[in-house]
Amino acid sequence: MSYVLSCPNCGVREVTDFGFGGEVSARPKSRPTFRELNTYNYFRRNVAGVQREWWFHRSGCRAWFIAERNTLTNEVLFTARPEEVGEAGPGGRGQGGPDGRGEDGPDRPAAA
């Protein structure tokens, strides 16, 4: 099934332009137990309904962003840059996507 997503930078594009980064999940605290780390790495809620997800504009601006999508209908409720919805990304640096997962990984600017 094909549908469209609206990149916060580029506008509406076919979903094939994007890479899926998985559902947004809370990072464990700085020194997690093995159980917390295991849960974070391997368990997903896999919601049948509206869930918040990471997407990567692979064929466009190459930015990570957040979308809320109904997984039953593929209706996209909204898309936003991570900083607009309070998602800090890996390490709380405000850039990048879901912990470096995904085929392309986050594009971070080089340290100044």
Looking at 36-44, 54-62, 68-76, 81-89, which segment touches Zn ion (CB under 5 A)?
54-62
> In the complex, what is the shortest distance from the CB of residue 17 to Zn ion, in angstroms, rounded to a whole number?
8
Give the phi and the psi of residue 7 in degrees, each rounded to 5: -70, 135
| 61 contributes a contact to Zn ion by CB under 5 A | yes
Give the phi and the psi of residue 20 in degrees, each rounded to 5: -85, 130
| 7 contributes a contact to Zn ion by CB under 5 A | yes
| 60 contributes a contact to Zn ion by CB under 5 A | yes
Q: Using CA atoms, how far apart are residues 108 and 110, in angstroms rounded to an integer?
A: 6
Looking at 6-14, 34-42, 72-80, 95-103, which segment touches Zn ion (CB under 5 A)?
6-14
Q: Using CA atoms, how far apart are residues 43 and 22, in angstroms rounded to an integer?
A: 11
Write out the residues near Zn ion by the rule CB under 5 A: 7, 9-10, 57, 60-61
